[in-house]
Structure 1
């Protein structure tokens, strides 16, 4: 699970928060409700998750309930990879 969190954190820092300190983006930092991700960046994140982890994120999973923190994203990815 730490590998998933690390990959997601690196991606978000690189794509959406360039120059931001990694310490500022914690596993529980709100991404969507905190304004870090908007609708377009959320779609980019979903594409990254699908490509990187070989999963399919369903439409009902592409929202705050599953993608609002690195912790929630890691839980989603782990549950999908375990189910496969």
Structure 2
């Protein structure tokens, strides 16, 4: 399950830096790839933002459409990567 704060942070990034429209009705279930909101270039910008904001790298094997389909999937990916990062420190 994704942290609502993570989802909100990603939502704000997509609205302001990718869509350039903070008023766009972007919901957790909005199909980001199917609607063309996330393209290959904007997905790489998002991955860079995830690294900067949350301190996790998205490995190549996690660069799957299902992980970037909507805000819920992206939030779950970040949460999972944060947990894996925490486990690797132990």
TM-score by length of 2: 0.84
Unaligned runs of 5+ in 2: 86-90
Secondary structure of the corresponding residue to residue 32 of structure 1: coil
Check conservation: 2:12, 2:22, Cα contact below 8 A. no
1:20 offset after TM fit, Å?
4.7
Task: Give the unaligned 5+ runs of structure 1.
Answer: none
TM-score of the superposed pair, with normalisation by structure 1? 0.90
Greater Rg over alpha carbons, structure: 2
Q: Does 1:76 align with 2:80?
A: no
- The aligned counterpart of 1:5 is 7
Kindly tell me the number of residue pairs found equivalent between the two proteins. 83
Cα RMSD after superposing both structures: 1.2
Offset of 1:83 from its aligned partner? Answer: 1.8
Answer yes or no: is 1:49 the counterpart of 2:39.
no
